[in-house]
């Protein structure tokens, strides 16, 4: 049975990596997917869905005015059977578009996997995330960690000095140069002006340090 899944997390938890792995799994089995990506997020180029570890794929761009069910139906009519729809940066969906995702599931019988942030830099729900949390069949948290070692559940927007930014538009595209994922406790502390936070944390190699023997 087709379902609507919402995979949510703070930033840098590997949402896009997970999306691309899911698409790969379908393709390995000879099944076709449609990847949807918002036009406003063009950091890797318009229509390119790219992860921080170097994986990438082409996606179909959508705007706030697009009907996502219509896009899925047009894709199926043009290219044949559609086995899964994957949505990157799903927090940017409108309420209407989240409903359209439910129609893809309920009327087209195609599963939809949506990946996005739960909250913005103020700790408030994005519109897309709010209705995905309300209407999705399955909610899956993708976990990441704060520099404190605790689970990161919040996103801070900070200035060049590491101080929290509490004003400005909800949507401001950026990556590690503007945002950092932190625990709720760290979020409260930095938002209260009780500390600053480094945007670029020291990065260690994944493997054994050079020169170290077994």
- Is residue 2 within 8 Å of residue 111, measured between CB atoms? yes
Is 137 annotated as a binding-site member? no
Cβ-based neighbours of 171, under 8 Å, separated by 6 or more = 40, 92
Is 89 annotated as a binding-site member? yes
The Cα–Cα gap between 127 and 125 comes to: 6
Is 170 annotated as a binding-site member? no
Is 31 annotated as a binding-site member? no
Which residues lie across from 37 on neighbouring strands? 61
Q: Which two tokens stand for residue 169?
A: 């538009």
Q: Which two tokens stand for residue 122?
A: 């103020």
Q: Which SS3 state, helix, strand or coil, does residue 24 take?
A: helix
Is 45 annotated as a binding-site member? no
Is 26 annotated as a binding-site member? no
Is 172 annotated as a binding-site member? yes
Q: What is the rounded radius of gyration, in angstroms, for the C-alpha atoms of the chain?
A: 18
Tokens 């919040």 sit on residue: 154
| Separation of first and last alpha carbons in the chain | 48
- Is residue 12 within 8 Å of residue 120, measured between CB atoms? no
Is 10 annotated as a binding-site member? yes
The Cα–Cα gap between 125 and 156 comes to: 14
Is 179 annotated as a binding-site member? yes
Is 88 annotated as a binding-site member? yes
Q: Which SS3 state, helix, strand or coil, does residue 147 take?
A: coil
Q: Which residues are catalytic?
A: 89
Is 171 annotated as a binding-site member? yes
Is 28 annotated as a binding-site member? no
What residue numbers does the annotated binding site cover? Answer: 9-16, 88-91, 171-174, 179
Binding site per annotation, positions for ATP:
9-16, 88-91
Could you list the residues known to form a binding site for substrate, using ranges: 171-174, 179
């Amino acid at each position: 049975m087709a379902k609507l899944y919402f995979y949510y997390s703070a930033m840098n938890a590997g949402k896009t990596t997970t999306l691309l792995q899911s698409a790969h799994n379908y393709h390995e089995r000879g099944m076709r997917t449609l990847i949807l990506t918002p036009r406003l997020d063009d950091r890797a180029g318009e229509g390119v869905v790219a992860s921080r570890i170097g994986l990438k794929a082409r996606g179909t761009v959508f705007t706030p005015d697009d009907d996502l069910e219509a896009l899925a139906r047009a894709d199926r009519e043009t290219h044949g059977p559609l086995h899964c729809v994957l949505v990157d940066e799903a927090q940017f969906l409108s309420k209407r578009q989240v409903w359209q995702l439910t129609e893809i599931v309920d009327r087209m019988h195609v599963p939809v996997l949506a990946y996005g942030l739960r909250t913005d830099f103020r700790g408030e729900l994005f519109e897309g995330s709010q209705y995905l949390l309300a209407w999705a069949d399955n909610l899956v948290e993708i976990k990441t960690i704060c520099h404190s070692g605790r689970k990161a559940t919040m996103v801070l927007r900070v200035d060049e000095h590491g101080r929290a930014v509490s004003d400005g538009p909800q949507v401001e595209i950026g990556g590690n140069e503007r945002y950092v994922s932190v625990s709720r406790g760290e979020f409260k502390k930095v938002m209260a002006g009780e500390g600053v936070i480094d945007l670029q944390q020291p990065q260690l190699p994944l493997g054994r340090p050079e020169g170290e023997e077994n």
